[in-house]
Amino acid sequence: MKYTSLAVAAAMALAAPAFAQTDLKIGYALATDSHYGVGAAAFADVIAAGTGDEFNIEQFPSSALGGEREVIESLQLGTVEVTIVSSGTLANFVPDTGVFDIPFLFRDLNHARTVLDGPIGQEILAEFDDEGLHALAWGEQGFRHITNNRNPIETPADVAGLKIRTMENPVHLEAFQAMGAAPTPMAWPEVITSLQQGVIDGQENPLSVIVSVKLNEVQKYLTLSGHVYSPAMILVSGPFWDSLDDETKAVFEEAGKAAVAAMRAYVDNVETTGVETLKERGMIVNELSPEQKAEFQAAIKAAYETYYQTYDQSLIDSIIATK
């Protein structure tokens, strides 16, 4: 018996890496089969390969570590190392990020990707280093659309008084207030129960979320409003980032790029297949025509006045002018 234990111990010692492997937590709000899940998996693969398995990325999907704001705060404290988040609460940490939440700002996915990967997006990423965070890259969710249980939405009058959950994001909140809806900012982990209990009538999110969360189980109508682009971000804990050497930091930057590529590929796919999937699952779907979209844009005129007071007009103009 004694000899067997020794042999097992010797075999284990030979198989074990020559160093202690460090587990790092990555937390995110959605399931492993979502755009966040595929991004996190791609991230983990590059980290394992690039660091010779020095770091092992442990996945904490489905808000297992809390809501997005809580997880970002945990990154600042250094108790969680990595997260993929929406822009929901980012402006609380770096106010400039809110400019990308302005409705009808981006023409299409390519426009958004060009701005975020270009100087405007990269300068805003760099601001996170002063907030106990390191922003690796802009990820993506897609354009947000409205789902609800009350009625189909074709004109701004159809959202009057609609109890719609928004992210805890003042730019989104102002837009829905200006439309005459009754918006309720709420952290994501409360949303499904609130929809089931009828506390809210609807919510808004991109197809990537609506499909992967199966929102059709709690929502009847989907309006393809595309009212705002929804960026995501891959963030690393500042204290953890500061502890890394330059070589390892370069691996993390590569992993961030791999995560973005995986997320964008997921979004590209769900943008072409998602509506059919949701119709098959029983949702009643309508798409706003360009004229109907223009009516919504006109309805939020008052919100635009606030946006132009909050964000530099020249910044907004250069985003719009980016080709």
Specify the residue, 99 or 164, whose C-beta has the smaller distance to ligand PAF.
164
For the bound state, the minimum distance from the C-beta of residue 321 to ligand PAF, rounded and expressed in Å, comes to 27
**Pair of tokens at residue 303:** 């919100």
Q: Which is nearer to ligand PAF, 251 or 270 (CB)?
A: 270
The alpha-helical segments, DSSP class H, found in the chain are 2-15, 35-50, 68-77, 109-117, 119-126, 170-178, 191-196, 207-212, 238-242, 246-280, 290-299, 301-310, 313-321
Asked whether position 167 contacts ligand PAF by CB under 6 A, the answer is yes
Of the candidate spans 11-19, 41-49, 85-93, 239-247, the one that interacts with ligand PAF by CB under 6 A turns out to be: 85-93
Regarding 128 and contact with ligand PAF (CB under 6 A), the answer is no
H helices of 187-245, where?
191-196, 207-212, 238-242
In the list 29, 72, 146, 159, the residue contacting ligand PAF (rule: CB under 6 A) is: 29
Structure token pair of residue 71: 């997880």
Which span (51-59, 82-90, 248-256, 312-320) binds ligand PAF, by CB under 6 A?
82-90
Q: Return the residue of 159, 209, 251, 278 that touches ligand PAF, per CB under 6 A.
A: 209
Judged by CB under 6 A, the residue of 143, 188, 296, 311 near ligand PAF is 188
Residues ≥6 apart with Cβ < 8 Å to 162: 148, 150, 153, 181, 182, 201, 202
**Eight-class DSSP state of 319:** H
Distance CA 159, CA 181 (A): 5
Q: Which stretch binds ligand PAF (CB under 6 A): 11-19, 80-88, 130-138, 248-256?
A: 80-88
- Nearest residue to ligand PAF, using CB? 86
What does the CA dihedral 49, 52, 56, 57 come to, rounded to 10 degrees? Answer: -30
Binding mask 224-263 for ligand PAF (x = CB under 6 A): ------x---------------------------------
86 forms part of the interface with ligand PAF (CB under 6 A): yes
* Residue closest to 165 by CA, chosen among 141, 147, 183: 183
| Residues within the interface to ligand PAF (CB under 6 A) | 29-30, 68, 85-86, 88, 141, 167, 188, 205, 209, 230
